[in-house]
């Protein structure tokens, strides 16, 4: 490794060490400021307007998105666009969260008298508690932690991290105070894997028993392959009397069996099946079922679905858990 690469890695490590210290300092200093913030935001039922310029603007957008996705309606406002019509997002009394490291950005300061016309209470996240922005704020969160920690001391690194962390802290405090639950989270995240895991149950995803390769025991490997080819789900269930689950065979089991020198007509179901496989019930949430499939040090791609009496009702595939979507 060259000297220049070594120095670059050293600079990266120094930033990470510094940012770790920033979070610790914030944890110690933010408590009273958060009380003031919550007193402003908790009673409000309209939008929270979040604004910032430059890099602070990007952080502001993330904070607005996090608030919105966790039960607090929020909208990002670009400070410059605000002066050209976007102030129309305000309703009387909507509070504002304004991010500005210096507290003196021209575009931000122009907003202050306009926000007061809307009777907006201002929360500011700033590194300059003596700035004009801080003096006009109803609540101030101080993120002054000794300057930036990039090699030239000017790039928003630690200040950006501190602002982002404060935004997360505010959102999580509001979630707790409002009693925001997983069910609430699922209701506003119906798409994507997060929503699927919280809203769907195994019965929405599984293949019912009639679509699954089922064996009675005693069949040869040849017969297993034929059955799994006719119903290609990557697994076959071995069923006893009254559909009681007797075992599971997967494609992996077949591949391992074919590595032996035995004829496929002399290898039987009982030689290759897992007699006591992991199982799930049809009422289990998809997210919980995925945890079962992916845990235990040996992830599996198919799971038998059983009822309370351990009778088979279907098969859950990992592939379908990430592809199929139905609330029926």
Q: For the chain, how far is it from start to end, CA to CA, in angstroms?
A: 58
191 in any annotated domain: no
pLDDT in tens, 22-67: 888 888 888 889 999 999 999 999 999 999 999 999 999 999 999 9
102 near 116, Cβ under 8 Å? no
Judgement on whether residues 172 and 280 belong to the same structural domain of the protein: no
| Stretch (H or E) spanning 60 | helix 55-69
Judgement on whether residues 27 and 154 belong to the same structural domain of the protein: yes
Find the domain containing 234 and state its range. Answer: 202-321
Domains held by the chain: number: 2
C-alpha to C-alpha distance for 77 and 87, rounded to whole angstroms = 8
Q: What is the CATH number of the domain that holds 251?
A: 3.10.580.10
pLDDT in tens, 230-277: 999 999 999 998 899 999 999 999 999 999 888 989 999 999 999 999
189 in any annotated domain: no
Q: What is the CATH number of the domain that holds 157?
A: 3.40.50.10490
Judgement on whether residues 167 and 272 belong to the same structural domain of the protein: no
Judgement on whether residues 70 and 110 belong to the same structural domain of the protein: yes
Closest CA to 90 of 100, 104, 76: 76
Judgement on whether residues 170 and 238 belong to the same structural domain of the protein: no
Closest CA to 272 of 281, 286, 285, 262: 262
pLDDT in tens, 139-198: 999 998 777 877 887 888 888 999 999 999 999 999 999 998 877 777 766 555 566 666
186 in any annotated domain: no
221 in any annotated domain: yes
Judgement on whether residues 14 and 151 belong to the same structural domain of the protein: yes
Judgement on whether residues 10 and 142 belong to the same structural domain of the protein: yes
222 in any annotated domain: yes
Judgement on whether residues 13 and 138 belong to the same structural domain of the protein: yes
Judgement on whether residues 148 and 216 belong to the same structural domain of the protein: no
| 250 Cβ contact partners less than 8 Å away, ≥ 6 residues apart | 234, 235, 274, 300, 301, 302
Judgement on whether residues 67 and 167 belong to the same structural domain of the protein: yes
Task: State both tokens at 278.
Answer: 């992991």
pLDDT in tens, 70-113: 999 999 999 999 988 899 999 999 999 999 999 999 999 999 99
192 in any annotated domain: no
Judgement on whether residues 159 and 272 belong to the same structural domain of the protein: no
128: pLDDT strictly greater than 70 = yes
């Amino acid at each position: 490794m060259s000297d220049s690469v070594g120095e670059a890695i050293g600079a990266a490590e120094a930033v990470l060490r510094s940012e770790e210290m920033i979070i610790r300092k914030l944890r110690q200093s933010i408590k009273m400021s958060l009380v003031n913030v919550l007193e402003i935001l908790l009673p409000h039922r309209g939008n929270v307007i979040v604004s910032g310029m430059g890099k602070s603007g990007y952080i502001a957008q993330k904070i607005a998105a996090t608030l919105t996705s966790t039960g607090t309606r929020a909208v990002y406002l670009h400070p410059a666009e605000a002066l050209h019509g976007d102030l129309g997002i305000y309703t009387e009394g909507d509070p504002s969260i304004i991010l500005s490291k210096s507290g003196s950005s021209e575009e931000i300061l122009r907003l202050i008298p306009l926000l007061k016309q809307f009777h907006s209470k201002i929360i500011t996240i700033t590194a300059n508690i003596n700035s004009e922005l801080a003096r006009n704020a109803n609540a101030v969160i101080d993120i002054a932690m000794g300057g930036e920690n990039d090699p030239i001391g000017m790039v928003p690194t630690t200040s950006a991290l501190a602002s982002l962390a404060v935004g997360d802290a505010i959102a999580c405090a509001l979630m707790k105070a409002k009693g925001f639950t997983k069910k609430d989270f699922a209701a506003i995240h119906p798409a994507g894997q997060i929503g699927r895991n919280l809203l769907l149950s195994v019965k929405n995803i599984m293949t019912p028993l009639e679509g699954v390769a089922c064996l009675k025991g005693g069949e040869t490997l040849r017969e297993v392959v034929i059955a799994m080819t006719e119903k290609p789900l990557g697994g076959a269930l071995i069923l006893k009397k009254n559909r009681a689950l007797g075992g599971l065979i997967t494609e992996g089991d077949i591949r391992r069996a074919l590595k032996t020198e035995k004829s496929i007509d002399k290898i039987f179901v009982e030689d290759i099946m897992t007699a006591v496989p992991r199982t799930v019930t049809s009422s289990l949430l998809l997210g919980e079922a995925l945890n079962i499939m992916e845990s235990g040090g040996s992830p599996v791609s198919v799971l038998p679905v059983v009822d309370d009496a351990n009778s088979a009702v279907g098969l859950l595939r990992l592939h379908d858990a990430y592809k199929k979507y139905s609330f029926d």
